[in-house]
Structure 1
Amino acid sequence: MTQHIMQICLSRGWGGLEMYPARIMPELQRQGAVNHALALSGSRVAESVRRAGADVFTVKSPLGALLAVRRLLAYIDSHAIEVLHCHKSSDLRIGALLAQLRPRLRLYFTEHMGVTRPKKGLYHRFAYAQVTRVFAISQATYRRNLKALPLPPERILCLGLGIDTAPFQAPPLTRSDLGLPPEGCLIALPGRLTPGKGHEVWLDALAQLAPQPSWHGVIIGGLKAEEGSDEAYVAQLHKRVAELGLEGRVSFTGFRSDLPQLLRALDIVCIPSRNEAFGLTVIEAMAAGAAVIGADSGAIPEVIHEDTGRLADPDSCAAWATALAALIEDAAERRRLGANARQWVEANLSLETHVAHLLDAYRLA
């Protein structure tokens, strides 16, 4: 039976959370669902879900969604929408209100960020009482959700993310395409340029590496606020690169829409973030066949194992320097880890499997 689903993401940011609805929509449609979205007008979320083929109901602000509740209900009724799926905790305001006014609706919430403090006050008890299931994206966040949310365990489901692995098999970009040195081991840190992602530890580790064998560092991520980054932090990183004498050894790529092909061109991908709720960038790099070093914290150890990558203390630049030096000097080990990682992601974290599990959960009464 066809399911009519509305993804709700009232955010003007641009990160993994905001990208998620558009990422899953083509596979939802392929598996028989009809896609709708509630998003902010002019946001990248609205643009991305339109490109993914969804009908989009837009509002100017989260408050505007509450003020438009009558029109929203009419849209939901006219399109026979059965499922609402929220992606920010603040989206639960409109999601819970819609579910209370239309009891036939099933309301779901993916807790993308990893809740860090209890949410058991009066408002949260009301909002979560309307939620059919909360999806935790890792075992690490599942354990936190059990403690923090006003829900019984049976209404919290661990549902890891998945990716479409096909784009990560495309031919890699060339170094000349990227304006990078023709020789040497390429070591990258992809992700939003915001505090907490571990850029400082990573740069300090690079500064400890011997210049030979040759290597080059690459920071991948938007440099502007509208691309999800903290512009003041970006300026700090440029300053730190200069202070460490790494200006000729570290490049900033800016935002890249061709990330799969870019990841395919890299030798080592580093994810030193201290508290990843899942580690989507980790599995993207693994799918691309890169040798990955991840922080030994948060959810990253759930996806990096001894035969698929390396782990390092996110607070120790010495540990990162040691791990990097070992892989820089051993190209055969890099290839082995990358091949194993690609196979593991294809077997365990495909988008097709993720969406099938998601649709099964949507059918729960």
Structure 2
Amino acid sequence: MHICLSDGWGGLEMYPARIIPELQRQGWEAHGLALAGSRVAESMAVAGVEPLTTPSRGRALLQAGRILAYLRRHGIDVLHCHKSSDLRLAALLAALRPGLKLFFTDHMGVTRPKKDLYHRWAYGRVTRLFSISEATRQRNLAAFPLPPERIRRLYLGIDLTPYAPRLDEPARETQRRELSVAPGQVAIGLPGRLTDGKGHEVWLEGLALLHERAPGLDWHGVLIGGLTAREGSDEAYVAQLRRRVAELGLEGRVTFAGFRADLPRLFEALDIVCVPSRNEAFGLTVVEAMAAGKAIIGADSGAIPELLEAGSGHLADPQKPLAWADAMAKQGQDAALRARLGQAARQRAETTFAISRHVTALVEEYSGQRNDESLDG
């Protein structure tokens, strides 16, 4: 059973629905526990699992008996939770039903020690804690009250199939026109939630410097991400970005595309994908762009350098707009370079970040078959 009692919507909340179909394909019966009416509950249902629901996290604790009865009825012996606040419930269930195996994925990257009495009790019930990158694993080793062998790196994975190019040239041009990208322009995109910390302002400032770094380059910027709180973004921050676009004189040069369910097709419309997040715990957007075979510029911080090995993309300082302008100018002026980077990125995605690889490693952990220190390398 995957437990995710969150009313938000981001990579963490999307995770259970991402892996449920592959878990089922590999022969596992998946179940879910989510907040009633949440996007998480909706996504689980779409993925093929009607989740058990609870009105709130507090009510979930009071309904521990009901949840235990559900676990017994369905013969569930593995719990996997994804928010530290959900660990209270999961640890309680494991304490009340000895034999339950409890797994926890740290999707966010812990920022402070968790070694007080409560955390020692809760994490003491955890069979395995998964770190989604080596960068977060190193922080987890210092922060959590667990021995090193119970903290393991497990890179996230995605279904690569939807990201393979499908559009013919006329369809691709139609897609680009919808984003206000003119024929012959280099489309430079930044996909992801429009919230502070994702580097949007540095990217915009870098775009404003492009006319100096590459005077002959004709380009158009595309911001892809929800514009409302319901779509996972910070509405005040979105308004701030719109003001910044105007201040930098980029009106007409940058499109706010909003939330798009057809992200793989939008990638086809782009020539360069930028991910300037300052401290990404993993960088799912990077992997999606790699799967799409795009030329990528990522922040030289957090886990992103682990993903973009030499030859599969470029890195830039997330604090320096000029570094982003230079990287965008370099890729923007060289179509052959973009093609080489995109091919290398796709190959790396296939060998390292396929959802089947991720779930195979995961179910080997569920069944107790993995004993090596690092799950994938």
8 Å Cα contact 1:176-1:182 kept in structure 2: no
Partner of 1:280: 284
Q: Does 1:193 align with 2:197?
A: no
Long gaps (5+) in structure 2: 370-377
Partner of 1:43: 38
Partner of 2:145: 150
Which amino acid is 1:363 matched to?
Answer: S
Question: 1:21-78, CA deviations, whole angstroms, 9 ceiling, x for partnerless residues?
Answer: 0000000000000010000011110000111111310011111111111111111110
Partner of 1:343: 347
In 2, distance between residues paired with 1:151 and 1:304? 30
Structure 1 residue ranges (4+ consecutive) displaced by more than 6 angstroms after TM superposition:
none
In 2, distance between residues paired with 1:307 and 1:266? 19
Partner of 1:176: 174
8 Å Cα contact 2:194-2:234 kept in structure 1: yes
Q: Does 1:234 align with 2:228?
A: no
8 Å Cα contact 1:207-1:244 kept in structure 2: yes
In 1, distance between residues paired with 2:179 and 2:94? 51
- Deviation at residue 170 of structure 1 after TM alignment: 4.0
SS at match of 2:15: helix
Alignment of 1:289-308 (within 5 A): 289-308=293-312
Partner of 2:374: none
Question: 1:74-128, CA deviations, whole angstroms, 9 ceiling, x for partnerless residues?
Answer: 1111000011000001010110000000111100000000001000111111110
8 Å Cα contact 1:146-1:153 kept in structure 2: yes
Partner of 1:3: none
8 Å Cα contact 2:313-2:341 kept in structure 1: yes
Which amino acid is 1:39 matched to?
Answer: A
SS at match of 1:335: helix
In 2, distance between residues paired with 1:215 and 1:294? 19
Long gaps (5+) in structure 1: 1-5
8 Å Cα contact 1:35-1:53 kept in structure 2: no
SS at match of 1:188: strand
SS at match of 2:127: strand
Identity of aligned residues (%): 63
Which amino acid is 2:197 matched to?
Answer: G
SS at match of 2:251: coil
Q: 2:76 aligns with which of 78, 81, 99?
A: 81
Partner of 2:325: 321
Partner of 1:352: 356
Q: 1:332 aligns with which of 320, 328, 336?
A: 336
Range that drifts further, 160-169 or 206-215: 206-215
Aligned length: 360
TM-align CA RMSD: 1.1
Which amino acid is 2:364 matched to?
Answer: D
Which amino acid is 1:283 matched to?
Answer: V
8 Å Cα contact 1:193-1:229 kept in structure 2: yes
SS at match of 2:8: coil
Range that drifts further, 164-173 or 41-50: 164-173
In 1, distance between residues paired with 2:174 and 2:241? 24
Q: 1:28 aligns with which of 3, 23, 32?
A: 23
For normalisation by structure 1, the TM-score amounts to 0.97
In 1, distance between residues paired with 2:49 and 2:99? 22
Q: Does 1:256 align with 2:260?
A: yes
In 2, distance between residues paired with 1:95 and 1:264? 41
Question: 1:264-313, CA deviations, whole angstroms, 9 ceiling, x for partnerless residues?
Answer: 22100000001000111001001101100000000000011221000000
- Deviation at residue 263 of structure 1 after TM alignment: 1.1
- Deviation at residue 181 of structure 1 after TM alignment: 2.2
For normalisation by structure 2, the TM-score amounts to 0.94
8 Å Cα contact 1:310-1:323 kept in structure 2: yes
8 Å Cα contact 2:179-2:222 kept in structure 1: no
Question: 1:163-191, CA deviations, whole angstroms, 9 ceiling, x for partnerless residues?
Answer: 11100014246343333223200001111
